[in-house]
Amino acid sequence: MPRSPYGRIEDELAKAFVVFEKEYMGRGPKEATCHVIGDIVLVRLNGVLTPAEQHLAKNPEGIDLVKKMRANLIEGAKELVYTVVEDVTCRRVVAMHTDLSTQTGERIFVFTLDGPPRC
């Protein structure tokens, strides 16, 4: 498969999200990948749940608690996350969407930029 024209940016963003997760969340993902598609950036983090979160996620109330806590943490770090993406892509982040699967321990971030990366 041919390498993306944004390979360097994708690699930098994947590494930056590992650092962010370690520093801000206290634990890094087991794996991080990133894809740039036009003005969209997709970041996929695998293995983000702590053992305590995995235990909590065994029942519906725990799933809700883990998702709400993680959503609040990301919302509190939104400006920091935007800065990371903007610094690497040289574009302004217009929107961020994210979700966490308590079943697989995977977190997805989708960023809409004000145009394709230009760095």
Residue 47: which domain range?
7-113
Domain membership of residue 17 (yes or no) is: yes
Domain membership of residue 2 (yes or no) is: no
Domain membership of residue 119 (yes or no) is: no
Domain membership of residue 1 (yes or no) is: no
Strand runs (DSSP E) across the chain, as ranges?
A: 31-37, 40-46, 93-101, 106-113
Helix 7-20 and helix 78-89, axial crossing angle in degrees, nearest 10: 160
Give tens-digit pLDDT for 83-114. Answer: 999 999 999 999 999 999 999 999 999 999 99
| Spatial distance between the Cα atoms of 65 and 70, rounded to a whole number of angstroms | 9
Exposure pattern of 48-71 as b/e (b: 16+ CB <10 Å)?
bbeeebeebbeeeebbeebbeebe
What's the whole-model pTM score?
A: 0.90
User: pLDDT class for 3, splitting at 50, 70, 90?
Assistant: low
Measured at the alpha carbon of residue 81, what is the angle toward residues 75 and 85, in degrees to the nearest 5?
145
pLDDT top residue among 47 and 4:
47
Asked whether 62 and 47 are in contact (CB, 8 A), the reply is: no
User: pLDDT class for 2, splitting at 50, 70, 90?
Assistant: low
CATH of the domain at 27: 3.30.980
Determine the average pLDDT of the residues in 31-58. Answer: 95
What's the domain count of the chain? 1
